[in-house]
């Protein structure tokens, strides 16, 4: 654990160097001072924040692994092994030699802690803006802890109550922290999000490629749905909806919206430019193969995916069904310059979270549920059932990494799928393979770390 608490001492500024010069950092990196001493301005906090967003967009986090891994372990997709990638994940054969997102997520957390613990009163600049930046960092810290919990926590293994270490200090005294319980991690996530929302001011939100105030509530709703905290999910969703800042993308703009940046439905997306992207290790290359043969195209849809859509549903148009496999070509479409942004929070997810939470609490879920198909060229539902809500989530959020968690939180069995698309094993819920192994490097470095069962 010492590794991820100290290795960002220089990285925090290196990843943000494009947004600030050495003159902006007092003292500069060349003087080998600690990060805390180098932060003298509120603008320095913003530079670190931008660097955090860049870290999140890397292939070892949202730029590929966390999304693809959770798609190929669901009934949405599998890996053909065209380039040898994601076959072990698709077949639930992974082991502790891989760290998945462990190091990357904790690197993000370490950087957020630099911002969160900064003493604003001693910094040059707008203190209110500094509080807003700290709220943004708290939101990202909550997201990273939640990501770690859903990948490594034991909530779906049937074997224990261990979550992941909650880290709230940069360079804290505890170099070898133990795993917190699932409930402790959840409480820490909720606490960060409540604090973040109270600290942020919407007047500073002028872009959707940086975390904004209402993303904190969208994330709170996501976490609450995951854990079945339904009243909380209702309240958090309503905060977003009542803000009036977002809307569902209409049917005639649905496909084209994925090739454009932003949009009225995009609450937060990670930016990709020609100079800053995951390239051939990104989402587009993993989903697609171009006419010239470029692209790995390992991850393809299962044949049953076509059966969940009506012919009139515009969401079918993001898929190429002409070849041997069904491919995602519409979401993250730029397979040449790799400039497709990665939406992490769309308003449509909030509406679906709200519909499910209303269903679970006796509210009018049908009106909310039907807002999605009404904007997709699909038939409306005659009733709101758990099955219909999960079906609409699958239709709307396919290829974005949500389905695996939806299946787990509702206790579904999983199918391990071979490279030929044939089911090789049905894995009953719960199972130890539904939690990723703690990386071997972490087990060797931290004597207090406990491995998940089965590894």
Q: DSSP secondary structure string, 6-40?
A: HTHHHHHHHTTGGG--GGGSSS-GGGT--HHHH--
* Nearest residue to 347 via CA among 264, 403, 271: 264
Lowest-pLDDT range of 4-13, 198-207, 216-225, 425-434? 4-13
* Nearest residue to 200 via CA among 102, 132, 259: 132
**Residue carrying structure tokens 């100079």:** 275
> How confident is the model over 373-390, as pLDDT tens digits?
999 999 999 999 999 999
CA dihedral sign of residues 361, 195, 222, 267: positive
pLDDT, average across residues 220-229: 99
Q: Is residue 251's pLDDT more than 60?
A: yes
Residue 83 confidence (pLDDT)? 95
Q: Which residue has the higher pLDDT, 409 or 2?
A: 409
pLDDT, average across residues 363-368: 98
How would residue 36 be classed by pLDDT, with cut points 50, 70 and 90?
Answer: low
Residue 291 confidence (pLDDT)? 87
Domains, the chain, in order of start with CATH, read: 43-277+298-445 (1.25.40.390)
SS3 content of the chain, % helix, strand, coil (to 5): 50, 5, 45
How would residue 141 be classed by pLDDT, with cut points 50, 70 and 90?
Answer: very high
How would residue 20 be classed by pLDDT, with cut points 50, 70 and 90?
Answer: very low
Q: Is residue 14's pLDDT more than 50?
A: no
Q: Is residue 84's pLDDT more than 50?
A: yes
Cα–Cα distance measured from residue 365 to residue 295, given in angstroms and rounded to the nearest whole number: 41
> How confident is the model over 322-339, as pLDDT tens digits?
999 999 999 999 999 999
Other beta carbons less than 10 A from residue 444's beta carbon: 9
Lowest-pLDDT range of 13-17, 47-51, 266-270, 432-436? 13-17
How would residue 34 be classed by pLDDT, with cut points 50, 70 and 90?
Answer: low
Terminal alpha carbon distance of the chain: 19
**Residue carrying structure tokens 């005659």:** 382
Residue 9 confidence (pLDDT)? 37
Q: Is residue 4's pLDDT more than 60?
A: no
Task: Kindly list the distances between the CA atom of residue 295 and the CA atoms of 71, 121, 242, 281, 282, in Å, as whole numbers in the listed order.
Answer: 18, 50, 42, 10, 10
How would residue 171 be classed by pLDDT, with cut points 50, 70 and 90?
Answer: confident
pTM of the model: 0.94
How would residue 35 be classed by pLDDT, with cut points 50, 70 and 90?
Answer: low
Angle between helices 386-397 and 347-361 (to 10 degrees): 170
CA dihedral sign of residues 233, 234, 235, 240: positive
Lowest-pLDDT range of 31-35, 103-107, 300-304, 356-360? 31-35
Residue 188 confidence (pLDDT)? 98
Residue 395 confidence (pLDDT)? 98
Q: Is residue 299's pLDDT more than 50?
A: yes
Tokens found for residue 79: 């890996």
Phi, psi of 454 (to 5 degrees): 95, -5
Burial class (CB in 10 A: 0-12, 13-18, 19+), 431: middle
């Amino acid at each position: 654990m010492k590794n991820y608490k100290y290795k960002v001492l220089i990285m925090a500024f290196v990843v943000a160097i494009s947004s600030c010069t050495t003159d902006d950092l007092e003292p500069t990196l060349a003087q080998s001072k600690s990060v805390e001493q180098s932060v003298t301005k509120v603008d320095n906090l913003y530079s670190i924040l931008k660097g955090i967003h860049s870290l999140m967009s890397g292939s070892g986090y949202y730029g590929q692994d966390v999304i693809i891994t959770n798609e190929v372990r669901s009934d949405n997709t599998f890996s053909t092994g065209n380039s040898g990638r994601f076959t072990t994940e698709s077949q639930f054969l992974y082991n502790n030699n891989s760290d998945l997102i462990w190091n990357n997520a904790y690197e993000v957390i370490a950087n957020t802690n630099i911002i969160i613990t900064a003493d604003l009163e001693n910094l040059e600049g707008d203190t209110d803006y500094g509080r807003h930046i700290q709220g943004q960092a708290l939101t990202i810290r909550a997201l990273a802890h939640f990501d770690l919990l859903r990948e490594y926590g034991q909530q779906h293994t049937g074997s224990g109550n261990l979550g992941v270490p909650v880290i709230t200090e940069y360079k804290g005294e505890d170099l070898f922290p133990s795993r917190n319980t699932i409930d402790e991690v959840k409480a820490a996530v909720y606490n960060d999000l409540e604090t973040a929302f109270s600290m942020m001011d919407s007047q500073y939100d002028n872009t959707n490629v940086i975390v904004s105030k209402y993303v904190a509530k969208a994330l709170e709703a996501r976490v609450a749905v995951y854990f079945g905290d339904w009243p909380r999910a209702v309240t958090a969703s309503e905060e977003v909806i009542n803000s009036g800042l977002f809307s569902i993308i209409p049917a005639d703009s649905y496909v084209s919206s994925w090739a454009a940046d932003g949009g009225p439905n995009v609450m937060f997306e990670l930016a990709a430019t020609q100079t800053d992207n995951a390239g051939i290790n990104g989402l587009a290359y993993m989903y697609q193969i171009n006419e010239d043969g470029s692209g790995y195209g390992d991850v393809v849809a299962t044949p049953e995916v076509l059966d969940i859509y009506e012919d009139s549903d515009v969401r079918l148009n993001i898929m190429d069904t002409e070849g041997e496999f069904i491919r995602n070509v519409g979401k993250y479409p730029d397979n040449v310059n790799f400039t497709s942004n990665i939406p992490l929070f769309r308003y449509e997810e909030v509406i679906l979270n709200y519909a499910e939470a209303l269903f679970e609490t006796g509210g009018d879920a049908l009106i909310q549920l039907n807002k999605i198909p009404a904007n997709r060229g699909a038939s409306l539902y005659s009733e709101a059932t758990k099955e219909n809500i999960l079906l609409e989530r699958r239709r709307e959020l396919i290829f974005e990494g949500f389905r695996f968690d939806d299946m787990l939180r509702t206790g579904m069995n999983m199918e391990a799928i071979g490279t030929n698309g044939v089911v090789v094993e049905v894995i009953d819920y719960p199972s130890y393979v539904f939690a990723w192994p703690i990386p071997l490097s972490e087990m060797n470095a931290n004597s207090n770390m406990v491995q998940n069962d089965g590894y």
